[in-house]
Chains A and B, each alone.
Chain A
Amino acid sequence: MKSPTRREVVIAVASAGIAGATAGLLERRRSTSAQGASAQATSPVPPTSPQGLRVLGDAEYAALAAACELVYPRDGDPGAVDLGVPLYIDRALDAAQLPPWGDGILTGLARLDSESFRRFAVPFCRARSSDQNAIFAEWAGQARGDNAEFARHLVTATLEGVLGDPTHGGNRDGKGWSALGFRPDPFAPSQKKKAL
C-alpha cells in the first residue's frame, strides 16, 4: 500500500468535518484556476505560488499568503510575504514533528476560502483587502471555536515565520529580526559559520 504523503497526514490529524471542507477546497481550486490570470487581484498578495511547495497546494498557498499578510502586513518594514512566512509554514507542515499550530491550518484555509466565496463570490486571496479584513477580524474576535483557534494559530505560525531562524524558510535575510531590533545570536543556525 502506498504510504500516505505528508499532506495526507496533516489532513488526517485535523479535526472532524475536515473531509467535506477539503473536498470543497479541491472543487474551488478548479474554479479558481479557471478564473485565470486575467482576474482582477484586489489583494496585495500575488496568487502565484513559489516553486517547491511541499504540502500546500496553489490555492492553499494563495489563501495562506493573503492571511499571513493580514497578520503581519508590509508597511515601512517587510510584511509576512516579503519575509517568506507562507513558505516557512509550508516547510513546517512537512517537518517530522507537526507544529502545535499545524493541525487546523489546512482546514482553516479551506474555511477562509469557503467563507469568502459565500460572501464575496471570490476566493479569499482575491477578495478586497477590506473584505479579507472583515472575515479575519470576525474570526480573531471570537472567544472560542475552530475559526478563533485558526486565527490564534495563524498568528503564532506567522510570528515563528517572521522571527525564526532564516534556515527554516521565513525571516528572509534576517529582516524580521532587524526590523524589530534583534541582534542575531552568533550561534543561530544561519549565523554559526560566521561566528566560528
Chain B
Amino acid sequence: MKASESVDVVVVGSGAGGSPVALELATAGARVLVLEKGRHVPQDRFVHDEIALRRHFMVPNPADEPHTIRYGKESAAAKSGEGWTANIVGGGTVHYSGFFHRLKPVDMRMRSWLGAVDGADVVDWPISYDDLEPYYRRVDEEIGVSGVWKAHPFEEPRSAPYPLPPLDEHPVGKRIDAAAAECGMHAFPTPRAVTSRPYRGRPGCSYCSMCADYGCPTGAKGSTLATLLPAAVATGNCEIRAQCMATEVLVGSGGKVAGVLYRDSTGITRLVEARLVVLACSAVETARLLLMSRSSAFPDGLANRNGLVGKNLVFSSCSLGGAWWDDPIGNDDTRHLSAQRSIQDWYSMDPAVDGVAKAGTIGFLVGFVQPISTAMRVLEPTKAKSGKELLWGSKLKDVLRRELRRKHVQFETFTEFYANSGTYVDLDPEVKDRWGAPVARMTISPHPKTKNATRLLAHKAIDVLETLQPDDTYVTTEHSETKFLQGGTCRFGNDPVSSVLDKHCRAHEVPNLYVTDGSFLPTSGGVPLTLTIMANAFRVAHHLTGVLRSGGV
C-alpha cells in the first residue's frame, strides 16, 4: 500500500449520484476527490461505434468483472455482464437516453396508499415529494432538460417550467397523440436531458438519435461529464481520478470511517483519508463495497449490523415490444428524430385496473438505429415464427432487405418493482473478479404485482399501436428488469432497525458515511431512476454543505 493522502471528502463514483455531491461540496470550498473505476474519455473522442459497444466499451468486461444472477434462492447463479451501470467517467449518464420523468407524490407514500402488500416490503419514504421538488428543479436547470409543462393530467407538481422547449420530434409523435386519445389515454412529449437549443455553452441537439448506449460527441446530452463534473473541477477544489477502483472503506476511531482504499490505474493499492466518505457507485456495487468492508467493528460489512445492506434491491421493471409498417410513417426528415412520446395514464389507479393499482410509464421510440443489433433483433421474431431455424444465405439477405426497410415504432415501459425478501445483493461465495475479490450476486424474485403491472402496460402500449393500423405488432418481453436502473440496497428511513440510511442518506451506524446513488430508494417508482438519483444527491449535498460548514464531521 502506498502512503496515504488526505482530503475533506472522497466521493466514490462519478455518475448521477456522485457528481452533484462533488459539485456542491467543491463549490462550498471542500477538497473533494472523486474516485472512478472507469476511464476518462473526453467528450470529443466519443464516436458511435457499434462494434466497440458490443465489446463492452461502457461497462466492465464480464470476463474480468462479472456479476452473478439467479432467479430465486434455490437456483444456481450464473455469471453475467448485467447489473453494471457503467465503467466510465460520468457513469451511466454517459450512455443514458435521458428520459427525465420525475417520480410522483404517491411514490413516496406507497405504504400509506396501498397498505401492507403480501410478499412485498412496501414502505413510505422518510421525505415527501415536496422535500425533493426544489432539487428536481435544480437538476432541470443544471442539466438543461427539455419538455412541455402541463402537457397531461397526470403530471407531478412542478414549481417551474422546463428550462428548454421540447426536442423536435418525428411526425409519428402526433399520430401517437391521436391514437392515445382514441384509446382514452394522454400522450405527452417525453422530457429529455438533451438540449433542444444552445444552453450554458452547450450546443442544441444534432438529432443523430444515438443517445441510448453512446456518449454524446457534442455535449447536447446532459451527462455529468458534459455538465456537473467540469463545473466541479473548475472550482479548483475537485479532482476526478479515473481508473481507480475503491476496494474497501476503512473504519477509524470513534465509529467513523477513516478513508478509502483503492486500486489505481497501475494496480497499486492506495489509501486516501477523508473527513467524509460518500458512496455513489451504483446500488449493486455500493452494497458490494460495504459488504467487502469488514472490520472488527463491522464483521458482516460496514453499516450492516442490522443485516440490511444489499436487501430490498429494486429495479425499474420493463416490458418491451413494438409495431411494424411496410409503408413509410412520415420519416422523410434527413435527421433521425425520436417519437418523443410517453403515457402515464396507468401510473397509479384507484380503483385498480385488471388488479393493478400501480404501474408506471409507457415510452414510444422510433427504432431501430443501430444496424447490427437491428439485424439481430429483426432475425429474432422471424426465428420465432419459423421455429429454431437459423437464417443464412439468400434467405437471410432477403429477410434483412425486407424487414430493415419496414418502419418501426418500439415501446418500453418503466414499472414499479415491489421490494421483497427474495430480491437482494450479496457477495457471491464462489465467483471472484480478476483481482480476487468476490463479485456481487443478485438474487431476483419479481413480485406477482410487478409482473402484472409490466404486462398491463405492454397491453396498453399495444392498444395504442394497434390504433395506428400497423402491419404487425409484437411483445418481446412482458416482464423483465432493467438491470442498469437499480436501487434499494441501502434503503433510507427513520428507523435504524429497518433501514440502512437516515433521511439525509447518512448511514445510521456510521456518522461520516453517506450513500447518494440509487441505493437509498425504498420504492422504485414507475419512471427511470436517474433523474431522482441526481435530485436526491443535490438534496443530500445541500445538507452536507451545512454539516461541513458547522464542523459536524
Q: Mark B320-351, 1 if CB is under 8 A from A, else 0.
A: 00000000000000001000000000000000
Given contacts A75-B394, A155-B392, A180-B375, 15 further A-B contacts (CB under 8 A): A72-B392, A133-B393, A155-B391, A155-B396, A160-B51, A163-B372, A163-B375, A164-B51, A165-B49, A167-B49, A179-B401, A180-B400, A182-B371, A185-B210, A186-B208
Q: Mark contacts of A46-65 with chain B using CB atoms, 8 A cut-off: 1 yes-contact digit, 0 otherwise.
A: 00000000000000000000
- The reply on B46 being an interface residue by CB < 8 A is yes
Contact A72 B389 (CB under 8 A): no
Interface residues of B in 3-49 (CB under 8 A from A): 46-49
- Listed by A's residue number, 5 A-B pairs whose Cβ atoms lie within 8 Å are A72-B396, A163-B50, A164-B50, A187-B47, A189-B49
> With A75-B397, A155-B390, A164-B51 known to touch, is A97 a contact of B217 (CB < 8 Å)?
no
Total inter-chain residue pairs, C-beta < 8 Å: 96
Residue from B48, B63, B214, B405 with most neighbouring chain A CB atoms (10 Å): B48
- Option from B376, B393, B401 in Cβ contact (under 8 Å) with A71: B393
Indicate whether A188 reaches chain B with its CB closer than 8 angstroms: yes
The B-contacting residues of A in range 127-182, CB under 8 angstroms, are: 133, 136, 140-141, 143, 148, 151-152, 155-156, 159-160, 162-165, 167-168, 176-177, 179-182
User: CB distance B56 to A97 under 8 Å?
Assistant: yes
Contact among A165, A179, A183 with B51 in the assembled complex (CB-CB below 8 Å): A165
Separation in Å of the A95 CB from the closest CB of chain B?
Answer: 7
Q: Which residues of the other chain, A, contact B372 by a CB distance below 8 angstroms?
A: 159-160, 163-164
Are A187 and B48 within 8 A (Cβ)? yes
A20 at the interface (CB under 8 A from B): no
User: What is the bound-complex CA distance between A117 and B392, given in angstroms?
Assistant: 23
User: Is the C-beta of B369 less than 8 angstroms from some C-beta in chain A?
Assistant: yes
B residues near A167, Cβ cutoff 8 Å: 49
Complex CA gap A140/B405 in Å reads 26
Looking at the assembled complex, report how far the CB atom of A162 sits from the nearest CB atom of chain B, in whole angstroms.
Answer: 8
Whether a CB of chain A sits under 8 angstroms from the CB of B385 is: no
In the complex, B388 has a CB within 8 A of chain A: yes
Cα distance, A20 to B485, chains bound together (Å): 46
Which residue of the partner chain, among A97, A151, A168, contacts B390 with CB atoms under 8 Å? A151
B-side contacts of A181, CB under 8 Å: 404-405
Contacting residues, chain A, for B48 (C-beta < 8 A): 185, 187-189
The contact of B49 among A97, A183, A188, by CB within 8 Å, is A188
B398 to chain A, nearest CB (A): 9
Closest 3 CB pairs of A and B: A163-B371, A164-B51, A140-B390
Chain A residues contacting B2 (CB-CB under 8 Å) are none
A187-B217 CB under 8 A given contacts A77-B397, A160-B51, A181-B405: yes
Q: For the complex, what is the distance from the CA of A174 to the CA of B2, rounded to whole Å? A: 50
Within 8 A of A (CB), among B182-228: 206, 208, 210, 214, 217
In Å, the complex CA distance between A183 and B374 comes to 13
A73:B51 contact, CB within 8 angstroms: no
CA distance in complex: A73, B397 (Å):
8
Is A143 a contact of B217 with CB atoms below 8 Å?
no
* A165→B371 CA distance, assembly (Å): 10
Taking the complex as formed, is A99 at the interface, i.e. its CB lies under 8 A from any CB of chain B? yes
Measured in the bound complex, the distance between the Cα atoms of B48 and A165 in whole Å is 9
**CB-contact partner of A143 in B55, B56, B388, under 8 A:** B388
> Bound state CA distance, A178 and B50, in angstroms?
16
Question: Within the assembled complex, what's the spacing in Å between the Cα atoms of A180 and B368?
Answer: 13
Which B residues contact A (CB, under 8 angstroms)? 46-51, 54-56, 61, 63, 206, 208, 210, 214, 217, 336, 369, 371-372, 375-376, 388-394, 396-397, 400-401, 404-405
In the complex, the chain A residue whose C-beta lies closest to that of B218 is A187
Q: CB of A2 within 8 A of chain B? A: no
Q: Are A97 and B55 in contact (CB under 8 A)?
A: yes
Pick the contact of A156 from B336, B376, B401 — CB < 8 Å? B376
A interface size (C-beta, 8 A): 41
State whether B51 touches A152 (Cβ < 8 A): no
Of A99, A179, A186, A187, the contact of B55 (CB 8 Å cutoff): A99
Among A71, A92, A183, the residue within 8 A (CB) of B396 is A71
Cβ-based interface call for A125 (8 A): no
- Interface contact B371-A73, CB-CB below 8 Å: no
Pick from B47, B210, B389 the residue with the most CB of A within 10 Å. Answer: B47
Chain B residues with Cβ under 8 A from A99's Cβ? 54-55
Q: Which residue of A lies closest to B56 (CB)?
A: A97
Give Cα A95–Cα B61 distance, bound, in whole angstroms: 13
Select one of A72, A143, A162, A187 contacting B46, CB under 8 A.
A187
Q: Which residues of A lie under 8 Å from residue B210 when comparing CB positions?
A: 185, 187
CA distance A185 to B47 in the complex (A): 10
Chain B residue at minimum C-beta to C-beta distance from A95 = B55
Shortest Cβ gap from B402 to chain A (Å): 10
A77 to chain B, nearest CB (A): 7
Q: Give the chain B neighbours of A118 by CB distance below 8 A.
A: none
Q: How far is the CA of A140 from the CA of B388 in the complex (A)?
A: 10
CA distance A185 to B404 in the complex (A): 16
B371-A180 in contact (CB<8A)? yes
Say whether B50 contacts A70, CB under 8 Å: no
Residue of B51, B61, B375, B400 with highest tally of chain A CB at under 10 A: B51
Residues in chain B near residue A189, CB distance under 8 A: 47-49
A residues less than 8 Å from B217 (CB atoms):
187, 192
Q: Given the complex, which residues of A lie within 8 Å of B401, measured CB to CB?
A: 77, 179-180
Contact B375 A73 (CB under 8 A): no
Q: Which residues of A contact B371 (CB under 8 A)?
A: 163-164, 176-177, 180, 182
Which residues does chain A contribute within 8 Å of B63, judged by CB atoms? 97
Known: A99-B55, A164-B51, A181-B405. A151 touches B376 (CB 8 A): no
Q: Are B369 and A152 touching (Cβ within 8 A)?
A: no
* B-chain residues with CB within 8 Å of residue A136 when the two chains form the complex: 392
Q: CB within 8 Å of B: which of A79-128?
A: 92, 95, 97, 99
> Cα distance A92–B50 when bound, in Å?
13
Are A141 and B397 touching (Cβ within 8 A)?
A: no
Contacts of A182 in B (CB 8 A): 371, 404
Q: How many Å from the CB of A81 to the closest CB on chain B?
A: 14
Given A99-B54, A181-B405, answer yes or no on A152-B47 (Cβ-Cβ < 8 Å): no
Complex Cα spacing A177 to B369, Å: 11
Q: Which residues of A contact B394 (CB under 8 A)?
A: 73, 75
Assembled-state Cα–Cα distance A123/B369 (Å):
39
Question: Are A185 and B369 also in contact (CB < 8 A) when A73-B394, A159-B376 are?
Answer: yes
* Residues of chain A contacted by B391 (CB below 8 angstroms): 155
Q: How far is the CA of A183 from the CA of B206 in the complex (A)?
A: 15
Query: For the complex, what is the distance from the CA of A156 to the CA of B210, rounded to whole Å?
Result: 22
CB distance from A139 to the nearest CB of B (A): 9
